[in-house]
Amino acid sequence: MNKTVRVIGCGLAGAEAVYQLAKRGFEVELYEQKPVKFSPAHKNPNFAELVCSNSLKSNELTNSCGLLKEELRILDSLVIKTADEVSVPSGAALGVDRELFSQKITEKIKSFSNVKIYYQTVEEIDTTIPTIIATGPLTDEKLLENIKELLGNDDLYFFDAIAPIVSKSSLDQNSYFIANRYDKGGEEGDYINCPMSKEEYQVFYEELIKAKTVELHDFENKKVFESCMPIEISAKRGFKTLLFGILKPKGLIDPKTGKMPYAVLQLRKESNFNDLYNLVGCQTNMLYGEQKRVFSLIPAMKNAEFVRYGEMHKNSYINAPKHLNKFYQLKNYPNIFIAGQLSGVEGYVESISSGLYAALNMANMLKNKSFVEFSNKTAIGSLSEYIATANQNGFQPMNSNWGIISHNGEEKIERAEIALQEIKQKAKNM
Ligand SMILES: Cc1cc2nc3c(=O)[nH]c(=O)nc-3n(C[C@H](O)[C@H](O)[C@H](O)COP(=O)(O)OP(=O)(O)OC[C@H]3O[C@@H](n4cnc5c(N)ncnc54)[C@H](O)[C@@H]3O)c2cc1C
């Protein structure tokens, strides 16, 4: 077999993809711009750099990201296995020594004689060459422009700020009510409204203004804040600012009291998945733990499960449901797969999973074999299915979470077992 595959970008997704292709005997042409050029967030010349936290989140199987990691271990993920080797004590989470992590992955990739490395910035995609694009949320500008042209101009997005998403099933039904402001819109009401009394708002407010936030990089500058103010910054302008803004109660009557609450946080359905709700207007720069602590002070959200936290940083991604199938392959350019954050997945482990899934099927495509398909009962399959089938309008990147994993009402641990059985079965035939 003499098949060449190009991989562009050797971050988390790219490193995984290169490994999966190289170990299957493909000739890999790897293009990575570091150390010739660094994005504003990248500092380490090695591959698979963790740009921010050194945590790959929970290892527990009752956590969907924990399940995703276990699936990746079974599928022989280089990046997750290296994370295990260089882990540092982090409770139930998988924290790593970030320097060792990148160093070991770099050494492994360089050890393959069938991987040729070109340290340069790619500016254009050659659609005749089988290619996995894994250039991440901070893809270099010229390449972004080229991808934009490839996709038809309007389908490459940026965000600077996103609000958290919670699962509806984790909210306290006795505390919220469903209604639209002034009863406008759909018959049943589209919003979940989380009311607060004056005392409850007071407690929420005090904790919000003193919550710890992420330190911003130089490039995440004032512009973000002017166009899309984080909730904690608005709050600092005064006790009542939010009451006239995103927490305003006007037009909302709590059916339990027959009165307008003092403050209301509205949650809006996210995409076409029933269980996921977005905290309207709550883009935030609070640390993840602080987001959970502070928003959980709102009675309806006291046990809220956060399936995605709010963030504020530059992120480029494509309109995945329009352009990708569930194998991370471009519908209009079957030679091209897009993996990592650029594909519309969000998070370290999610990026790794997309690199692995894309590479497996790039390999199968080149061997004229049918594609490996993981069902939406698995964490890896549910994520790719989500991004390929979500609502195209206003599509936003997604983390792995239980809200997108299909089930028949089993407990989480049973769902995890079902998923792992499927993965083990499929791994045998790969
Ligand atoms: C500032 C910031 C903080 C984040 N923090 C977290 C976090 O704490 N936890 C979390 O789970 N997720 C976080 N994310 C989201 C995401 O999980 C990471 O960005 C993750 O690294 C994405 O993996 P990737 O492989 O898609 O991209 P990357 O890991 O960024 O890899 C892309 C690679 O492509 C290279 N490259 C870019 N353009 C070109 C080009 N034109 N030619 C050649 N090479 C190119 C880059 O140098 C880089 O090595 C963060 C993202 C950002 C931007």
pLDDT attached to residue 124: 98
Query: Does the pLDDT of residue 343 top 90, yes or no?
Result: yes
Nearest CA to ligand 1 atom 11: 347
Token digits for 193?
């409204």
Closest by CA to 291, choosing from 264, 310, 267, 278, is 310
How far, in Å, CA of 101 to CA of 113, rounded? 21
Query: Does the pLDDT of residue 226 top 60, yes or no?
Result: no
How far, in Å, CA of 412 to CA of 402, rounded? 8
How many A from CA of 299 to the centre of ligand 1? 36
How far, in Å, CA of 395 to CA of 307, rounded? 16
Ligand 1 contact via 58 beta carbon (within 6 Å): no
Nearest CA to ligand 1 atom 15: 347
State pLDDT tens for residues 1-53. 558 999 999 999 999 999 999 999 999 999 999 999 999 889 899 999 998 77
Q: What percent of the chain has pLDDT over 70?
A: 93
Ligand 1 contact via 48 beta carbon (within 6 Å): no
Ligand 1 contact via 98 beta carbon (within 6 Å): no
How far, in Å, CA of 58 to CA of 33, rounded? 31
pLDDT attached to residue 2: 55
- CATH number for region 165-308: 2.40.30
Q: In this structure, which topology does domain 4-160+314-428 adopt according to CATH?
A: FAD/NAD(P)-binding domain (3.50.50)
Q: Which residues touch 265 (CB under 8 Å, ≥6 apart)?
A: 193, 194, 196, 246, 247, 279, 280, 282, 295, 298, 300, 301
Q: Is 17 within 8 Å of 109 (Cβ atoms)?
A: no
Nearest CA to ligand 1 atom 10: 347
How far, in Å, CA of 272 to CA of 389, rounded? 9
Ligand 1 contact via 14 beta carbon (within 6 Å): yes
pLDDT attached to residue 181: 87
Ligand 1 contact via 195 beta carbon (within 6 Å): no
Ligand 1 contact via 348 beta carbon (within 6 Å): yes
- Choose the residue to mutate in 96, 144, 314, 351 for probing ligand 1, maximizing ligand atoms within 8 Å of C-beta: 351
The model's pTM: 0.82
Ligand 1 contact via 351 beta carbon (within 6 Å): yes
Confidence of residue 162 (pLDDT cuts 50, 70, 90): confident
Ligand 1 contact via 179 beta carbon (within 6 Å): no
Ligand 1 contact via 249 beta carbon (within 6 Å): no
Nearest CA to ligand 1 atom 27: 136
Closest by CA to 263, choosing from 212, 311, 300, 210, is 300
Confidence of residue 275 (pLDDT cuts 50, 70, 90): confident
How many A from CA of 182 to the centre of ligand 1? 43
How far, in Å, CA of 190 to CA of 213, rounded? 31
Ligand 1 contact via 399 beta carbon (within 6 Å): no
How many A from CA of 11 to the centre of ligand 1? 6
Q: Is 275 within 8 Å of 168 (Cβ atoms)?
A: yes
Token digits for 30?
């790897």
State pLDDT tens for residues 48-96. 999 877 889 999 999 999 999 999 999 999 999 999 999 988 888 898 9
Task: Please state the domain extents for the chain.
Answer: 4-160+314-428, 165-308
Ligand 1 contact via 230 beta carbon (within 6 Å): no
Strand-pair category, 4-8 with 27-31: parallel
